[in-house]
Structure 1
């Protein structure tokens, strides 16, 4: 499940992507007010994004936050990894922080690993494929989920 912190980070980053179009910095207070994010919490999120090189911050009268790179070069996946860590549901399928599940008997013979790997791969494809610029411009992703099989009566 997407954390509240991740949702706030995405909203703040999209807000900055829109400000990029006008070539202006935005204060944390302005983002918080516009997006309905608690200001103190937003400051922590922006600090995480700054540490990861996603945003830049400048103090002073003309200060505020900007994206560190073009919005078209920053994906949803990068934002999520910056605040929540790996996209994978389990460490055994993580690309950025691989590891063994605590109760794992055998990675090679795990029955659930193949589906978790497919979920991680599909999730990463979608999140890597959506940039802040596209989201700020209103791009929508639509896809048809495969029909669920229903048991016959």
Structure 2
């Protein structure tokens, strides 16, 4: 399950993708449109800015904008940034691997084998689905 913070981050990024490359959106606009508490959105956008996904501009035409094309930002990238590894078991994590405490032999673990298939399929979909894809619901990769 993804966190509420990750869901809000994805909503904010999709909103910026919908605005178009080089166009800015004010925090208040995104907050109202996506039903995200403004203070929480400010924290999320700051984290996305530090990660190099968005930029902010001050002034009359200020606000937030995507730094890369929406086609180059995937759901997998955003989820890893906000929530960490995409793995239901610590022994399946690529970036935070940890052996399960109660496991005798990973090679023989039936639970691990099933969840490994689920994890690989999930990662594949998330890593090939971009913000731009999400705007075209009928074209989402399977």
Between Structure 1 and Structure 2, whose CA radius of gyration is higher? Answer: 1
Taking structure 1 as reference, are residues 44 and 104 closer, same or farther at Cα in structure 2, changes over 3 Å only? farther
What residue ranges of structure 2 are gaps of 5+ in the alignment?
Answer: none
Higher helix share: 2
Aligned residues: 142
Give the aligned CA root-mean-square deviation in angstroms.
Answer: 1.9
TM-score in terms of structure 2 length: 0.88
What residue ranges of structure 1 are gaps of 5+ in the alignment?
Answer: 144-153
Distance (whole Å) between structure 2 residues aligned to residue 9 and residue 20 of structure 1: 17
Match of 2:15 in 1: 15
Q: Is the 8 A contact 1:75 1:130 kept in 2?
A: yes
Return the offset for 1:137: 3.2
Taking structure 1 as reference, are residues 102 and 60 closer, same or farther at Cα in structure 2, changes over 3 Å only? farther
Return the offset for 1:101: 2.5
Match of 2:73 in 1: 74
Tell me the secondary structure at the aligned position of residue 97 of structure 1.
coil
Distance (whole Å) between structure 2 residues aligned to residue 31 and residue 70 of structure 1: 18
Distance (whole Å) between structure 1 residues aligned to residue 64 and residue 89 of structure 2: 33
